Structure formats: structure tokens, C-alpha cells
Amino acid sequence: MKLSQNKRIAINLVFISIFVWTLLLVNPGHIMAMKYCHVFASCPSATSFQMLLEMKLFSAQLIGWGLMVVAMMLPKLILPIQFIYQQSFKRYRFLCSLLFVFGYILVWMVVGVFMIEIIMGVNLLLPMSYMPAFGLFVIALVWEISPIKQRFLNLGHDHRILSAFGWKAFRDSLFFGLTHGVWCIGSGWALMLFPMLLPKGHNLAMLVVTFIMISEHLEYPRFPKWLFIPRMKLLRIIVVQTKIKLMTF
Amino acid sequence: MNSFIGKWVDQQNVLITITGSKTSISVAYGNGRGPFQGTLNASNPSVITVNFTDDGGNKTGTLSNNNSDINWDNGTTWKQLVYLRKNAWDDNNGGQFIDKSGNYTDLYWYAKAVKVMQSRPISDPTSWWFYAAIHGELLLPGSLYPKPYQYLNWKNVNYIGAAANLSVVPSNALTTIFWDQCQHGTWFFPPWHRGYLVALENILRTIISQLNGPSDWALPYWNYLNQSTVYIESHIPPAFTLTVLPDNTPNPLYVPERYGPNVQVGNGENSANDQCQWDTIYSEGAAPAKLGAGDLNGYFYGGGETGFSHSGSETGDLEQNPHNFVHGMVGGQNAAGQIGLMGVPATAGLDPIFFLHHSNIDRMWDAWNVTGQNNNPSDVNWLAGPTANGNSQFAMPLDAQGTAWYYTPADVQTTNNLKYNGSYYSYTYSDLSLTSYDTIQPGFLKENLSLRLNKLSAINLETGIKMASKQNNELVGASSGSITLKDKETKATVQLDKTAWKSVKNSLLKASVSNIPDEVYLQLEGVKGGADSNFLSVYVNNTFIKSVSLFGLLGASLKNTAHGGAGLTFKFNITSIVDELHLESAIDINSLDVQIKSKDAPLDGDEITVERIGIYRSGQ
């Protein structure tokens, strides 16, 4: 059976995401020079921040961060990329999508520089401590129920109509990626940082956070106000679709 | 489910009500006989034994296969009560409260029951105001409209009386389950509204029974498309324009904020019609996909498939015209440019004419199924409803406590044996003609694929060609930049992309049974503004294509709402024009002229914007 374009996009992006997840979690054949989260959690306290930088750990960290963003966020980009495909000329579709993803990841990488500095700094000051993660957890919780977070989530649904022709189509796609990235960071910065501050169990935390972030971006926009609502749409979809499949077969 | 629970009629036409649980029942006659107790057979739930204490004790009843009869062992038969929804004009003495014999009509009892519901505060789930809010509301802080539309916010609506007590809203739990559910621009539009009407109809009937009205009362329908020689049925029935009831008390069916009491019927610009009834496909991918003339809006009869992402713009043909059209026309605009309640989704449910309008829309869907013999989707994602994609269930309150009836499209896909609150419920309409206005299929809709291939000089035609269930859609042209409609007429030029257009051109040149030529659609994308009761008409190279209603535009244009401020997208099938231009070799790739006319001139500061006009091919 021929799959619809939307399904093909979704499958490809999920496949790439799983591949990068495998790289991060399994690191088969030690193809990565270092474990992406090595320093995040277990820097020896005696090592100075300057030494860490000299050890070129920072650039390795940044690569790890980039891969983490790709692994965690790519499934979230399924809907905007489907949107770009729908409203672009066939020969522009791939390039426009690539520019969108580039813009999106670029924003996360810029933020990543600051995030990594925070992570490294925190680990120097409080090595192997759960306190920073706990502190951030409280902040993340407050952020989750805040109207600001809802505002960013709403903006994440703002799918701009793109110019169709020439360089304007590419410019609009890049700009779409940049703005989408900003809204995404606005809603998910605390969730993204939380696993990195955990001395242990950050892989599991990353998976959980990915699930939450995809779920909350699937929810329809709503009026921003202080509100505790479990945004578990992905879980609901999985449960119902499993039930449907079991009923069908 | 206990299939015996419901209303039955015996051979003497006495109404019998069966209530109960999964294992036991209670039988009560409308003439006061009973109640009698009975039990379901443990091994066969289609058999009951009831102890008729005044008639010789136990009797056994067996349910027929289609749940329409109970056959008793003494030879008698009870038939399931099928409620009859009647024409608000023809069957109500020309839309009056009193019939020719001096008896009260269904419209009178509707008015009396509406009055009772309106006397209840909004915190009561069986109040008129609560039920209106199920469709949509402008009362909760997150729903309120900004300037200059604050006159629509419920606290500013004169029609809502003091009894509504708007200052005390229901609990958050109730509003979360029930309010703001209306399904528009989606393939769930027909089934959600069917359940909404059934739930309200039952509440109204209970009140009417308590008022000693007919116990088999059913919601009337306003068929504005009916070409009666007796009444002008495109006008709103008089019962809705009189300010008082026969007893000289205020008429709750009269709504001051209803500015357009007539429906303009026709096949021209800004006119309501029932061309949609000639569609043969409910939604793209719905099987079987027999070829038909329809798909006026690009989303077939019932609307676009709604997954976990929903733009709210996949409006089906039934929903666009007549549904949206009648909302816009009846809502209308007053001299100050204010839109009437029916013209905006978040206020429409307040107007009692809403339910007669939707009764007619439901009638058309039923006729499309029953008379037109067209099928609803068999896709499990439609049958299961929005929950299949993680969204909320359809829910209607049954009582003042807010007990919910949850339902799916599968439960309400027929009006016969509809699954209502654990029992079967059946109703029908006094007229199930497929069409009322476009009784002969309009010529331009007749062009099926065989005719089209003939026109394009294809050879080796065969009959029985099936449409591919899934089509490839591709952008082939677009306008540059957004377009602002400041005047009644706006012109735009759309450029076709040379490379992309080649596919269309080739498909037309090589048209044959195995190479079905592309269909071409024009889309107005990202339409935003606040003119819900206005209409847009689209012309391509000076040929009229179609009009669309802007019902729902304001809500879709606001950020921080479920639409996310994306506006609306309208799709127009321009295949026949492209065919003509192709045959005349008159396609100018650099300039396809598109003209957009609005029915009313946009008000100052309230312009309508169209972010882009896109041209799409749809084909193999």
C-alpha cells in the first residue's frame, strides 16, 4: 500500500530520531569520541572550568547537545514539515524543510552554548548532587503551569503561510524554523535542561522529557492562564490507537 | 447494553416506557397502567420476562433482529417508537403556534419548553444557556472577544435574561467536559451536531410532557430550501418573529439580535442551495469511492479527515453550503455593522432557530444516506471520534447534575437505532427527499469523469471508473504576498509555476482511463478578519466559481484559541475552468486572474486579509 505523503514524512523523521537516539544511548563501537553526557554529570570537582574548556570538552559537549536536540526534537517537527510540504512546490519541498530544520536547530545550538556553561558550572560547584536538578524541577513545574508557557505553546502552532516562489520561499522557511525554535525553547527550556543536571538516570529522564514535550505540542492551543493540566496527548493517542488495532485484528 | 430500554407503542397505540438496568426492567404505560417488573434472560439478552400483574402474570417478549419490535408470546407486538421531526412551515400551519383545528403546534411546545430552560441559571446543565455554551460561548475569561466585538460577549447580549445568572458559571469540571465542543471544519461536523440535537430534544420532550404537551414531541426542522407553493419557506417561520406567545407572554423564540430573517436561495453568488446533496463521497479516502459530480469545496460531503492536528478548515460541502450560509444570512448585520447571534459560532446556540436549522442539516445528511444511498466513512478514526487522536469525547449533559452521555460518530451514524445513553433511539423526518432546491442536478455538476474525458478528447472510455482513494496534492501556482480586501472587489494575479504546471498540462494532454487527468483547486489561505456574517465570491478569469460564508472567521483569527490564529482556508474546485482554458489554449502561465468579491464592504479597520492564493493539482 502506498503511504500518504504525511505518513512518509512522519516515518522518516521518527526513523532519523531513533537512529540518533541509538547513537546517544548505545554509542555502538564507540563511534562518538566521548559520551555526550559525560561531563554533564560527573566532572571531578578539582578540575577547573578553564581546564575543561582547554580539554576541548566544550566542543564535544556542543556536538552532544546538537545530537540530543535532533534526537529529542525531530518528532516534534513532523507537523510543521508536513505543513511546508503541503504548501511548497515539489522541487522546493526538501530544501525548504532542510532550511526550516537548520533554522530550528541553530536557535537551539545558540541556547545550547549557555545551557552547557550552566551545566558545567553547576557540576563544578555541586558535583554529583541532586540539588541543582531538584531546584530546576521546581522551576520547571512552575513554568509548566504558567500562562507564559501556554503562550509559547500556542505560538508553536503559528504555522506561517510561506512565499511560494524563489528565494523568498527559502527565506520564509528559514525564518519559520528560527521562530519555531524560539517558541519551542520558550516552552521547553526547563524540561530540556532538567535531565542534564541529574547525576544519574539522565537517559531515562531524557526519554520521559521527550515524550512530555511531544505531547504538549500536540495539544490544541488554549487561553494562557495559571493552570495545572497534564498534557499527555501522545499517551492518549497511543492507548486509543492500540485499543483500535486490537479491536480491528 | 439493554436493547429493551426505550419507548415503545403497542397495537392500541399506547406509549410504553421501558426503563431499567442491564439485567432488569420496569414497564410503564402512558395511560397509567403498570409499572410491571421484568428480567432479561441471562443467556439470551434478546428475551425478557415481565410480570404483568393485572393480566395473568409472566409473559415473554423477544426482540426482533433490527430492534424495532418486541414480539410477545401472547401474539401481540410492540413497535419501537420512531419520533417524527416535522417541517416547521408545512406541518405547523405555516410556522404558527396554533394549527387550523385550534390545537397547539410543535413550535408552540418548543417555545414553552425553551422558556422553561431559559428560566434556569447557566450553572444548571439543563438550562438553555448551558446548552448554548456546549456549542460555543463568550463568557469564560479565555473566550471573550476583544474590541470592537465585545457586544458579542454574553454579558452584553440583551437576549440573555437575568434568570441566566451569568455571574455564577458552572464548575470547571463541567465546563471542561461540556463547553465549547462544536465541531466545525472537520469530518465530525455531522455526527457531533446529531448528538447535540438528540440530547436537547430529549430534555425539551421531558419538559413538554411535564407541561402536558405531546409525549412524542420531536424537534421541527426549518427547510429554507423547500420550494413550497403555499409558503415562502426561505423566510424564517412566523413563530420566531412574533414578540409574544398566544397567551401574550414574551415569546422566547424571538431574538432581537437576529438581523437577517430570510435565506437567499439560488445557485448564484452568495446563495444557499443543496448542490452538496449531489456529492457521493463523504470524505477523501472514504470507501467505496464511486465517481460523482461533487466535491465543491475539496473536502467532499462531510469534511476533511481530522487527525491529531486540526486546522479547522477542512469544511465539507454540507457544512459550507447550506449550513454556514444560513448561519451568516440569519445572523446578518445591523445598521451599526454588528453581527447577529446566529452569525458567530460562539453565540449561535443562543438563538432557538439554531436547532431548527441544524435539524434541517441533519435531515439532509439522513436523506443523503437513506435516499441518496451514500455511505458514511468506514474508517475507524471517524467511527471512534476525536478520541482516536487523543482529543476530547463528544459529551452531552442529561440532567441537572451534569450526568454525561458520551457518544461517538459510530453511535449516531443513523437515525434509526441510534445509541443514546444506553438505549436505542429512533427518529425520522417528514421529508427525506434528497434535495429540495437543486432537484435536478445542475449542469455543471453533471460532468462526471467520462464526460470530462470525452471533452478532453480521450479515447477508449470505459464505465465504472473508480476514483483513487488517496490523491497526491501539489502546489502549482500562487500569489505573491498577502491580499487585503478593503473594498467589495479585489483583483489578484496568480502566477503558475512552469515546472509544476507541466504535470497538470501533461495530465490533460494524456487524459485517458488509465491516466485520469488532474483536478485543480484554488485555495484562499490564511483568511483572517472579523466579518463572520459576510460572504466571499471567487472569480477566475471573470468566470464565477463559488461563494463561501465567513462563518467562524473571527474565532479562527484570534490567537490563543484552538485555531491558534491561523484563520480559515477555503478551497474551490476550478477544474472545469482549467479544462476550458486548456482546450482554448488560453492558459497564461504568468497571470491567472482571480477576483474576490465580498457581499458586504469590509468595515473600516476590519479588513479581510488573505495571506496567499494557492493553486493546487490533485491527481494520481
What is the amino acid identity at position B68? S
Residue listed under C-alpha cell 439554531:
B354
Question: For B446-468, what is the HEC assignment?
Answer: HCCHHHHHHHCCCCCCCCCCECC
- Cβ burial of B336 (10 Å; 0-12, 13-18, 19+) is exposed
Whose CA is closest to B83, among B413, B352, B415, B372?
B415
B124 Cβ neighbours under 8 A, 6+ residues apart: B130, B400
Q: Does residue B591 surpass a pLDDT of 50?
A: yes
The lowest-confidence range among A221-225, B177-181, B208-212 is A221-225
Q: B480 and A241 in contact by Cβ < 8 A?
A: no
With contacts defined as CB-CB under 8 Å, which chain B residues touch A233?
A: 308, 390-391
Mean of pLDDT values over B548-575: 87
Strand partners, B29: B16
With contacts defined as CB-CB under 8 Å, which chain A residues touch B560?
A: 151, 154, 221-224
Most confident of A130-134, B90-94, B376-380: B90-94
Output the average pLDDT for chain A.
85
Contact call for residues B389 and A237 (beta carbons, < 8 A)? yes
**d(Cα B324, Cα B317) in Å, to the nearest integer?**
10
pLDDT for the residue numbered A248 = 59
pLDDT for the residue numbered A43 = 45
Q: Is residue B141 less than 8 Å (CB to CB) from chain A?
A: yes
Whose CA is closest to B551, among B348, B284, B249?
B348
ipTM of the complex in this document: 0.86
| A199: helix, strand or coil | coil
**d(Cα B172, Cα B169) in Å, to the nearest integer?**
9
The lowest-confidence range among A4-13, B134-143, B165-174 is A4-13
Q: Does residue B254 surpass a pLDDT of 60?
A: yes
| B482: helix, strand or coil | coil
pLDDT for the residue numbered B242 = 97
**d(Cα B473, Cα B475) in Å, to the nearest integer?**
7
B147 Cβ neighbours under 8 A, 6+ residues apart: none
The tens digit of pLDDT for each residue in A161-186 reads: 899 999 999 999 999 999 999 999 99
Number of H helices and E strands in chain B, helices first, is 14, 22
**Residue to test with chain B: of A7, A87, A242, most B Cβ within 10 A:** A87
C-alpha distances in angstroms, B44 versus B38, B47, B62, B187? 14, 6, 10, 37
Per-position b or e across B4-22, b if 16+ CB within 10 A of its CB: bbbbbbbeeeeebbbebee
pLDDT for the residue numbered B148 = 86
Which DSSP string do the residues of B148-212 spell out, in sequence order?
Answer: T-GGGSGGG-TTS-GGG-TTSPPPHHHHHHHSS----SSTTHHHHHHHHHHHHHHHHHHHHHHTT
Residue A48: pLDDT band (50, 70, 90) is low
Residue B439: pLDDT band (50, 70, 90) is confident
Whose CA is closest to B212, among B360, B316, B108?
B108
The lowest-confidence range among A15-24, B282-291, B306-315, B597-606 is B282-291
Residue A3: pLDDT band (50, 70, 90) is low
The proportion of chain A whose per-residue pLDDT surpasses 90, expressed as a percent, equals: 49
The lowest-confidence range among A17-31, A196-210, B164-178, B566-580 is A17-31
Among partner residues A86, A220, A237, which is closest to B562 by beta-carbon distance? A220
**d(Cα B175, Cα B130) in Å, to the nearest integer?**
9
Among partner residues B387, B497, B559, which is closest to A154 by beta-carbon distance? B559
Which DSSP string do the residues of B403-414 spell out, in sequence order?
Answer: -EEEE-GGGGSS
Q: A223 and B560 in contact by Cβ < 8 A?
A: yes
The tens digit of pLDDT for each residue in A12-39 reads: 999 999 999 888 888 765 555 444 444 4
Q: Is residue B497 less than 8 Å (CB to CB) from chain A?
A: yes
The proportion of chain A whose per-residue pLDDT surpasses 70, expressed as a percent, equals: 86
DSSP class of residue B340 equals: P
B484 Cβ neighbours under 8 A, 6+ residues apart: B490, B607, B608, B609, B610
The tens digit of pLDDT for each residue in A217-229 reads: 988 888 888 888 8
Q: Nearest-CA distance from A166 to chain B in Å?
A: 11
The tens digit of pLDDT for each residue in B233-249 reads: 999 999 999 999 999 99
**d(Cα B125, Cα B134) in Å, to the nearest integer?**
10
Whose CA is closest to B516, among B361, B217, B291?
B291
Residue of chain B whose Cα is closest to the Cα of A164: B478
Among partner residues B380, B478, B614, which is closest to A248 by beta-carbon distance? B380
Q: A159 and B566 in contact by Cβ < 8 A?
A: yes
Q: Model pTM?
A: 0.91
User: What grid cell was written down for B452?
Assistant: 470530462
Output the average pLDDT for chain B.
90
With contacts defined as CB-CB under 8 Å, which chain B residues touch A222?
A: 142, 560, 562
pLDDT for the residue numbered B311 = 63
Q: Does residue B14 surpass a pLDDT of 60?
A: yes
Strand partners, B38: B25, B50
**d(Cα B4, Cα B80) in Å, to the nearest integer?**
9
